[in-house]
A and B are shown apart, each in its own frame.
Chain A
Amino acid sequence: MLFAHGFGCDQHMWRSVAPRFEASHRCVVFDHAGAGNAHPDAYDVDRHSSLDGYATDVIELCDELGLRDVVFVGHSVSAMIGVLASIRRPDLFAHLVLIGPSARYIDDGDYVGGFTDEDIDGLLGSLDSNYLGWSAQVAPMIVGNEDRPELGQELTESFCRTDPDIQRRFARVTFLSDNRDDLASVATPCLVLQCRTDIIASEAVGRFVHEHLPTSTFVMLDASGHCPNLSAPDMTADAIECYLAGASQPA
């Protein structure tokens, strides 16, 4: 299983989900180029100016590690990165698990993505406002999590390496992408996990993805926010486990 994080975080967001599958699967977590602890040289302004560049990274990662029959678990924008990768290399993937996916964030005619161009400008402004505060957010502090003190250290290091310029670019790539037409080309069976209240990817947006994928299962999680892998990790893992168990049963 390959776990891909979304915009705004890094591989740490899988810390309570991925271990659940370690007994049954080879689990790989990674940081996208420009995020977390990824090598600074991995990020290329041109290559990563579209989700296709990130999809190429995923394909190269699978080839490099010799991964086959991959269960790709993509959160947020990584759901579409997985969609693109599976279209190009269907041979690599057994299942796609799409958590909080959106094929397009910006409204377009009858399509409701949930946001306007101005909203995305607002996000960039918000990133700018926190540009100066970035180091304050990541100041080395002891985390309240006393049973796992190593976590605080890890996070501080990882968050420190988030380059605000890359963050801005990734925000643009994420929120200005439109992958609605790609969905029909996905041959890999998919699981769409939708949070009950998610302002980033609403239920309508999740259902659009589900309805336009040729083979897809839709599961509503009783969780709020955009990151059930963090706020409701057990519920998330249960849903994936259940789906994979069902998929492996003979019809």
Chain B
Amino acid sequence: MTDVEGPSTAFFDALLEDDPAELYETAPCGYVSIDSDRTIIKVNQTFCTWTGRHRDDLIGKQSFLDLLPVGDRIFWETNIAPALQLQGFGRELAVEVVCTSGDTLPVLLNLSRVDGAGSGRSVVRIAVFDARERRAYERELLRARRDAEEAAATSKHLAETLQRTLLPPSLPPIDGIEMAGVYHPAGDGTIVGGDFYDVFEISDDAWGVVLGDVCGKGAAAAVDTALARFTVRASAIRTRSPRRVLSDLHDAMERSDTQGFCTAVYLRVRKRADGIRLSMAVGGHHLPLLVGPDGAVEEFGEPGALLGMLGPPRLHEVNRLLAPGETLVLFTDGVLEARRGDEFFGEDRITEILQQSIGSSTQEIATTLSDAAIDFQDGHTRDDIAVLVLRAT
């Protein structure tokens, strides 16, 4: 063993006792020293080899900046030079060096400024690292990041546009009814939600009003929401029975490719001399709340089954005259089940807000209710929110 170890140790020692000048010249990084004019005053062989340049052409003659593309020169003078003056060093600065072949070599620079004591002159020492692969990878990362940011922006725009098509741009004015709707998307609005509402004319004196929630989010929910909205519109022309309209909606959902289901409240509304005649059916949805002119709040309607699953739904129809001053409030579970920790917003809070709504317009009620549910979650809405408020005038 000693026979082998002896020569090996000697060889290793010889390497460690390398001539410092040799170490400088053939180091695995380029070394360049420049004076305050940016003129190269010292350079090692590695840098010359990498760039294809001759030492004699560089030292005392060549500005280091002139070896960089113009963009990098501007970056140097506006960003690197001030930092170098202020802090005396620079780390991992990414620039390119132009080689005699015309190619550019992506490099990373570490810089340190050395001030000549009392001379007022300073030298900047530059270590140059070949960074071809790293920079290619970084450029790839940057491109991926830009693409991702762009895709996110496009997706948000698409979601917002799509969402707008699922809601009426404004509610039609109906004589004798004051009405307002509010929709707020979940999260940052990048995903299409399943809540929807619609108000449309059926005949000269009858109007259809629907508010619902299709299960799921995103593209599938958007398809089902569009299906739900147009099924209700088509069915409402054919039949006067709200129960029948929701039954048609159930059939349409069940037949849809997306296997979605939904909840909905559908109202047929007719203007009468003594108020508004309501016929209503509810499928799997929370019952609307009726607010009296005195602020008394009560549920209205009879619960019915979820639409789009589990066979023909049990649905009930209720009729009522909405007297002038009485208000009907429809909302989705985005309000009811707004969560803070383990706590739900809940019906009590909704009731309390409605009790205090005497004198408020329907727009104020819808906005107050939606805002309260949003604030309850500190603005981080997990589900979308839809509120529709109608009042006989």
Contacts and interface: CB of A to CB of B under 8 A. Distances in A.
A131 B145 CA distance: 12
A224 B38 contact: yes
Interface in B36-82: 36-38, 65, 69-75, 77-79, 81-82
B82 A9 contact: yes
B305 interface: no
Nearest to A129: B94
Given A126-B95, A199-B65, A226 B141 contact: no
Contact of B88 (A119, A128, A145, A200): A145
Contact of A143 (B36, B88, B90, B138): B88
Contacts of A15: 86
Interface string B89-102: 11111110000000
A214 interface: no
Contact of A133 (B71, B89, B93): B93
Given A123-B74, A151-B86, A139 B91 contact: yes
B108 interface: yes
A225 interface: yes
A122 interface: yes
Interface residues of A, number: 48
A197 B37 contact: yes
A121 B74 CA distance: 11
A197 B73 CA distance: 13
Given A120-B71, A132-B138, A226-B77, A151 B87 contact: yes
B72 A122 contact: yes
A133 B82 contact: no
A41 B91 CA distance: 29
Contacts of A121: 71
A43 interface: no
B94 A133 contact: yes
A155 B71 contact: no
A230 interface: yes
Given A155-B87, A226-B81, A227-B82, A119 B36 contact: no
B135 interface: yes
Interface in A199-220: 199-200
A152 interface: yes
Contact of B142 (A76, A116, A118, A128): A128
Given A132-B138, A197-B37, A226-B81, A137 B90 contact: yes
B77 A199 contact: yes
Nearest to A127: B75
B170 interface: no
B167 to A, nearest CB: 30
Contacts of B139: 129
A119 B71 contact: yes
A144 B125 CA distance: 14
B85 interface: yes
Contact of B108 (A133, A143, A200): A133
Nearest to A75: B82
Nearest to A145: B88
B238 to A, nearest CB: 52
B245 to A, nearest CB: 48
Given A6-B78, A132-B138, A230 B85 contact: yes
Contacts, number: 126
Contacts of A9: 78-79, 82-83, 86
A225 B70 CA distance: 15
A125 interface: yes
A200 B142 contact: no
Contact of B77 (A128, A129, A132, A200): A200
B68 to A, nearest CB: 9
A58 B89 CA distance: 32
A8 B87 contact: no
A49 interface: no
B83 A7 contact: no
B38 A129 contact: no
A115 interface: yes
Contact of A231 (B36, B75, B94, B106): B36
B142 A131 contact: yes
B142 A119 contact: no
A85 B83 CA distance: 28
B86 A13 contact: yes
Nearest to B95: A126
- Which of B65, B74, B78 has its CB near the most chain A CB atoms (within 10 A)? B74
A7 B78 contact: yes
A136 B110 CA distance: 11
Interface in B328-386: none
A122 B88 CA distance: 26
B87 A224 contact: no
Nearest to B73: A199
B258 to A, nearest CB: 40
A115 B70 CA distance: 8
A136 B131 CA distance: 15
Nearest to B88: A144
A159 interface: yes
Nearest to A126: B75
Interface in A144-168: 144-145, 151-152, 155, 159
The 10 A-B residue pairs with the shortest CB-CB distance in the complex, in nearest-first order: A122-B71, A8-B78, A230-B85, A129-B94, A119-B70, A126-B75, A9-B82, A123-B71, A136-B92, A8-B79
Given A8-B75, A120-B74, A155-B83, 9 more contacts: A122-B71, A123-B74, A129-B135, A132-B94, A133-B92, A137-B92, A152-B87, A199-B73, A224-B38
Interface of A: 6-9, 12-13, 15, 76, 115-116, 118-133, 136-137, 139, 141, 143-145, 151-152, 155, 159, 175, 197-200, 224-227, 230-231
18 contacts: A8-B78, A9-B78, A13-B86, A76-B78, A115-B70, A119-B70, A122-B70, A123-B70, A123-B71, A126-B74, A129-B106, A133-B91, A136-B92, A143-B89, A144-B112, A145-B87, A155-B86, A197-B37
